[in-house]
A and B are shown apart, each in its own frame.
Chain A
Amino acid sequence: MSDQDRKKFVITRFDPDRDDEPRKQTYEVPVEPYWKVLDALNFIKDEIDPTLSHRWSCRMAVCGSCGMLVNGKPSLTCKDALSDYGDTIEVEPLSNFPVIRDLVIDLDGFMEKLHGVRPWIIRAKQRAAEEGTYRQSPEELEQFRQFSMCINCMLCYAACPVVANEPAFIGPAAIALGHRYNLDSRDEGNAERNGIFRGEGTVFSCSYANECSEVCPKHVDPAAAVNQAKINAVIDWAASFVVPRGGGE
């Protein structure tokens, strides 16, 4: 195999059973032209070092498992082509998360944050199946569709400077998903979620750095969601002094 077919991978390793601190380990991998970063990690796992731990599944950029830092940038490793990188590639776990082992981060904090925005349809009265589907125009769908595309890959949390300083910050993906339900014509939970958004460590903590939208592999634009959610939370709060507020819009 010729030299240009090999790349060097510098990978962060950490096993709490034996390491006090993360360490770097270097692997040389014979790479194929069409490979993504993940293909190289899988090659290392299968052929060189079976102790390497990383998460992956769909390898088509939809399950959200394989987010890592590649050369310092949050990346969905099944989507990013090796050909976009040089001969030496550094792979680390996503920043701003506790590391469980090697490239595996702890997601439980996010799961709680997601739960915290009430990411489900809230109605004063649940509709019965017999009543059929809601009418929702293509324009109404378009209001929230983009924000429903989040695959929970956590790249935005790794990129967010606010999360870095304030780990309790509810963060871009959770806000985008809460906001997604606020914009859904089938939902009546605005007042409840806006109350949550006015609390500490949510939308008003955002410094609008826009890093989240830049790294999002699904073009969800969480920064736009956070900004809209801020405005809506304020309007909702102001309106509460003027008119009694019922359900949704």
Chain B
Amino acid sequence: MKKVLEEKPAESPPGPHEVPFTTISGRPIEPLYGPDRLSDFDYARDLGDPGQFPFTRGVHATMYRGKPWTMRQFAGFGTPGETNARFKYLLENGGHGLSVAFDLPTLMGRDPDHPLSLGEVGKCGVAVTSLADMETLFDGIPLDQVSTSMTINSPAAMLLAFYIAVGEKQGVPQERLSGTVQADILKEFIAQKEYIFPPRPSMRIIVDMIRYCTEHMPKWNTISISGYHIREAGSTAAQELAFTLRDGIEYVQWCVEAGMDVDSFAPRLSFFFNSHSDFFEEIAKFRAARRIWARVMRERFGAKNPRSWMCRFHAQTAGVSLTAQQPYNNVVRTALQALAAVLGGTQSLHTNSLDEALALPTQEAATIALRTQQIIAHESGVVNTADPLAGSYFVEKLTSDLEAEALEYFRKIDALGGMVAAVERGFPQREIQEAAFQFQKAVERKEKIIVGVNEYAMEEKPFPILYIDERASEEQIGRLQTLRATRDNERVRQGLARLQQAARGRDNLMYPILDAARAYATLGEMCDALREVWGEYEEPPVF
């Protein structure tokens, strides 16, 4: 590796007295906060007790005394057989739920033999090409005894169909399946960029899926509305809060416009936030998220069921904050970020492994990440009381400031005609890009110090990582060729034709997707069928 740190930066760094006191998002912080900061503060209106509207202090009355957060670690690599073995290991060692990471061809709806899948199969997650792979992935794992979270977005409906079909083969009806598909297509356009179809048909798939789950899968969380990727792409804390919740408003709006009763589906919506390095700003962000969502659901959408008002969320520590340099320091960063998520009242948590900036985690690194959560839960004492930071002048002021900043973004996005229209015009994308560039400049000016990177650097030894070769790709292409030679190809052809017919009309797409999945149509074939009808989205490449 190059010695980048011995070079003088182009601009000379400011002395200590010139470095501004700001959060990692650039928010100025005062030297002291006192009662004058909360002059119009009203406990019942602005906080309420935990479990009470507007849920600023948490969604449950007893918080972690009643129910600890779920420690849900994300895993997936190589072939379905390899990941199946890892899942069984996790379940045998006390895990309650599974969280599936898919590879890029799966995330993008491409079969492993497509030219763009070159070098990508099984690298960032597990390859799932058809129902046959899903059967292998969950072989020997009874689907009525685990909950499964699947990080899948553009082709979420197809992967959900594979999962339902595996349940049918195991004799587990869909009513008893529990888990989540991420299915948040808006944040794909905004930040993570794993979109396939244009925004409007993409939204239609999500609405069809929410309707299907509402009618048939009472234990399934239909969507995980995600700020994680928005933050990783470089947004500020307030932008993450604003864009995520405004995405949530957009989904609710589309479902209501499609004729659904808000209280029929809103209780199954869930959220997913980043837990970044700026300790108090993150805690304030989580508290503000609950307050904003409760008010939006009650006041903007007229929801009457208290469960519709609750912003239940999963959190993951900030992968982007971890450094390739001195990787053991990442354990400390992750512990602080995880503590912020717990003090912010998260319902479940993934802690990143110390080798996140180098590769997928080794088993050793993944174990330390899980132990970090267990130490917080069992040793730190923070679980003993709900929302312990409530009433802090600083935390309450930050919570209100973040809320105000998010509401200002809501006004701008509403004025643009909603989030789909804002995305089509590149508004959130530009805001995030600008914030990412400003942060990089601040680091290079040493206004923000990253330990081991722009300060306290040192010579290092090579670090052992998990290395994934091309074997998974060859195996996966072989399995696909066998499948195509042995399935009923006429049934597949008819299934894909019916899917296209539904896409051209207004019927719920979940039914033809399920039929095609049961016939062993591949994910790439189903997505290609829809690409022919809707086209593919390409964003204008601006920087």
Whether both chains belong to one complex is answered with: no
Mark B residues whose CB is within 8 Å of A: none
Mark A residues whose CB is within 8 Å of B: none
